[in-house]
Amino acid sequence: MPSTDPPLPSGVPFTAVAADRWRAARAAQRWDSRWLVLLPLGLCLFAMVRAGLPAVCSPAQPCGQDWAGDLVAAALLGEALVLLARPQGQVLVPYALLPVVWYLPEGLPDEPSRWAVLIGQALLAWLLTVVEVGRRRARQQLADLMGPEVPYPWTAAGGPSPFAADPVRATGRRVLGWLLLGTAVLLLGLGLYRQAASDERAAGAQLVQGTVLSSDDVGDTTLRYRLPGDQDVRSAELEVWWDAAPQPGDTLPLLADEDGWVRLAGDPYDPTVWLMSATVVGGVGLIALASATRAVRIRRGFDRPGAPALRVLAYPSEDAEAVGPLSGVPFWSLSAQGISCWHEGVWARSPVVEHDEDEDFEHPEGPVEALLYQAPDGASAQLLVRPWTAGDSPDISWPPVDWLAVVCAPGVRLLDHRPSALEPPTPAPAAPTPAGPVPAARWSMPGPVRLASGPVAALLLGFVVVSRSEHGWWGGLLQPLTFGVFAFVGMVAALGWQAGVDRRGVWVATGLTCRQVDWEDVIGANARNGRVTIRIRDGDEIGFGNWLTRWVGPRGYRAEELASAVAHAAGAEEYRPTGQGPGPLSHRQLTVNRAALAAYLLLTVVLFLNAHGWF
């Protein structure tokens, strides 16, 4: 069937040299990550640990509201939300927070915590500045390369833009944002109201002495007291957050009234929880409002007749849109936000149109030449225009279309940070070329070491938990769960790994999970310090082996030779194994490790609950 589609406009070719220059400008790309959110959260946690709990609150030694500390904590929490959302102006946040910390020294408990926050904010500001400077430099390179505007496909066809801003979607985000902001104001108002109501009732209450009946590590304390002139003995349950929990028989000063309202004397109501909740909810609301504004702004460029564009190679798939230079491998991963199809002179938002089932259509397979309008890191959304391919839908009843236009977010994800990303996957020059197909093989740590890694790790961590005398929420539950899981995963990954290659691809088990990668998805491999790292086409990596492998690894295991064999097999079919491996990976080992981890988690929770008398 002859094609009636209009030819693609002539855009500037995106070459491997231009891709190298772009990657060199974005040298700090690895720091452009949501993992930076851990820095303000870690600083906030460090300040909380340094502050600790008050020793005691009494009329002679009252505890006051630390508004400066609450402001700094709310600012750090808001900064974490901004880093999680990753807006364009996130680089300004640490610069705005530095003066707050500097001019509010009372907002942090001591000088070490204050200087830790200042140094952490300075480091974060420097990292974000380097990332932003690199992004602007790379964007300027692409702007200089693209040159003048190229007409959009619908402009060349004489039709309107099919990608107008979606007012319903933006309105929904605005409504959600304003609702969250209203909820944040309500939470803050409730906290201040409860504080004012508590202070008002305290002004009319009587000072009495209460006797502690029971107390636990989480602060729940039961007391009994008697009002002046009243013969009845009353009881009350309060939360006492002191450094040393009161013991049964201790006497505490209380403020109480005839209606049963009770509060510790010298310990006013603390609305910090309400303030932090309002900060989180309000921050999410602001992010929703900013997202609605951005969703409209980035699509305004589609109202113009054209935009600068690059000619690229597109690698269509059902999961993502990947593009690269005209010579090389996939370089950028694009986040698709909308699709429109050109068929028989009409732009349609759905690819389903009427067609004759007897007609025989041919679709291109593999990478196809395409146009990428706007390019990454611009003020507008990107537009990828490419032919329809057979891999776009597994449903063979879908008819062919002439062109596919995909709207993508302005940002991109670099698929490979290494200088070899633009070259075909080849082994190191010193590695000899195999004489024939690589033999199917399997490697793993010695059986006894591999089988014992999970149970031994769980036993060691369980012994540490049982030996601890700390039974609070952090020391008795959260800390063993968090650090224990990290330690367990590290131990079984180092001592319990398995790997194999056969005609289907590469198999890797890291102690808790097993993954199989087809040869078509492998783009290279390297070895360092006994560890083999395999690079995958979507930018991910899987690895196995470590420095321990040199002493306790399988006989004949040589990481450099294995990486060379994998790289050759990934680059050419004649080097790939022709048969299956000597046996499947041991999934029984994965089950044992998962059961050992579950037993450790269950032991930690049971010990915590038993320490608090919940059993």
Band (419; pLDDT cuts 50, 70, 90)? very low
Say yes or no: 323 and 405 in one domain: yes
The stretch 500-518 carries a mean pLDDT of 82
Enclosing domain of residue 450: 441-611
First-to-last alpha carbon distance for the chain, in angstroms, is 75
- 17-21, 23-27, 364-368, 574-578, range with the lowest pLDDT: 364-368
Say yes or no: 459 and 386 in one domain: no
The stretch 146-170 carries a mean pLDDT of 72
In tens, the pLDDT along 536-571 reads 876 677 888 776 776 665 666 777 777 888 888 887
- 193-207, 474-488, 593-607, range with the lowest pLDDT: 474-488
Q: What CA–CA distance (Å, rounded) separates 602 from 498?
A: 27
Say yes or no: 368 and 469 in one domain: no
- pLDDT score recorded for residue 166: 59
Q: What CA–CA distance (Å, rounded) separates 67 from 499?
A: 56
Residue that wins the pLDDT comparison between 507 and 4: 507
- pLDDT score recorded for residue 165: 58
Question: Which residues are within 8 A (CB) of 156 and not within 5 positions of it... i.e. 6 or more apart?
Answer: 6, 9
Q: What CA–CA distance (Å, rounded) separates 308 from 146?
A: 6
In tens, the pLDDT along 375-398 reads 888 777 888 887 766 555 444 334
The stretch 591-596 carries a mean pLDDT of 88
The stretch 575-602 carries a mean pLDDT of 78
Say yes or no: 454 and 378 in one domain: no
Q: What is the DSSP letter of 75?
A: H
Say yes or no: 504 and 366 in one domain: no
| CB-facing half-sphere around the CA of 148: CA atoms within 13 A | 5
Say yes or no: 459 and 538 in one domain: yes
In tens, the pLDDT along 445-493 reads 877 788 888 899 989 888 888 877 666 677 777 788 888 888 898 888 8
Q: Among 138-152, 349-363, 389-403, which range has the highest average pLDDT?
A: 138-152
Question: Which residues are within 8 A (CB) of 527 and not within 5 positions of it... i.e. 6 or more apart?
Answer: 533, 559, 560, 562, 563
The stretch 8-36 carries a mean pLDDT of 80
Beta strand 309-316 pairing with 12-13: parallel
Residue that wins the pLDDT comparison between 613 and 192: 192
Residue 343 CB neighbours (<10 A):
20
- 321: pLDDT strictly greater than 80: no
The answer to whether the CB of 583 falls within 8 A of the CB of 442 is yes
**Rg value, the chain, Cα:** 32
Say yes or no: 338 and 448 in one domain: no
- Is 261 inside any structural domain? no
- Is 343 inside any structural domain? yes
The stretch 594-598 carries a mean pLDDT of 90
| CB-facing half-sphere around the CA of 317: CA atoms within 13 A | 13
- 58-72, 400-414, 547-561, range with the lowest pLDDT: 547-561
Say yes or no: 386 and 469 in one domain: no
- 365: pLDDT strictly greater than 60: no
Say yes or no: 473 and 556 in one domain: yes
Distance of CA 396 to the CA centre of its chain: 36
- pLDDT score recorded for residue 211: 86
Band (604; pLDDT cuts 50, 70, 90)? confident
- 212-226, 333-347, 369-383, 416-430, range with the lowest pLDDT: 416-430
- 599: pLDDT strictly greater than 80: yes
- Is 512 inside any structural domain? yes
- Is 253 inside any structural domain? no
- Is 426 inside any structural domain? no
- pLDDT score recorded for residue 333: 81
- Is 236 inside any structural domain? no
Say yes or no: 377 and 494 in one domain: no
Band (186; pLDDT cuts 50, 70, 90)? very high
Say yes or no: 376 and 483 in one domain: no
Residue that wins the pLDDT comparison between 430 and 384: 384
Q: Among 62-71, 115-124, 167-176, 543-552, which range has the highest average pLDDT?
A: 115-124
- pLDDT score recorded for residue 14: 87
Token pair of 371, please? Answer: 């146009």
- Burial classification of residue 313, based on how many CB atoms lie within 10 Å of its CB (0-12 exposed, 13-18 middle, 19 or more buried): buried
N residues, the chain = 615
Mean pLDDT of the chain: 77
- Is 69 inside any structural domain? yes
Ranges assigned E (strand) in 354-402? 368-373, 382-387
The answer to whether the CB of 557 falls within 8 A of the CB of 545 is yes
Q: For the chain, give the percent of residues with pLDDT over 70.
A: 80
Q: Determine the number of helices (DSSP H) and then strands (DSSP E) in the chain.
A: 14, 22
The answer to whether the CB of 213 falls within 8 A of the CB of 235 is yes
Residue 511 CB neighbours (<10 A):
28
- 425: pLDDT strictly greater than 50: no
490 SS3 class: helix
Q: What is the DSSP letter of 575?
A: G
**What is the number of domains present in the chain?**
3
518 SS3 class: strand
Q: What CA–CA distance (Å, rounded) separates 381 from 337?
A: 9
The answer to whether the CB of 481 falls within 8 A of the CB of 465 is no
- 361: pLDDT strictly greater than 60: no
Say yes or no: 409 and 478 in one domain: no
Q: What CA–CA distance (Å, rounded) separates 323 from 327?
A: 11
Token pair of 137, please? Answer: 């430099």
Residue that wins the pLDDT comparison between 424 and 183: 183
- pLDDT score recorded for residue 430: 44
What is the enclosing helix (H) or strand (E) of 508?
strand 505-509
The answer to whether the CB of 414 falls within 8 A of the CB of 29 is yes
- pLDDT score recorded for residue 185: 92
- Is 330 inside any structural domain? yes
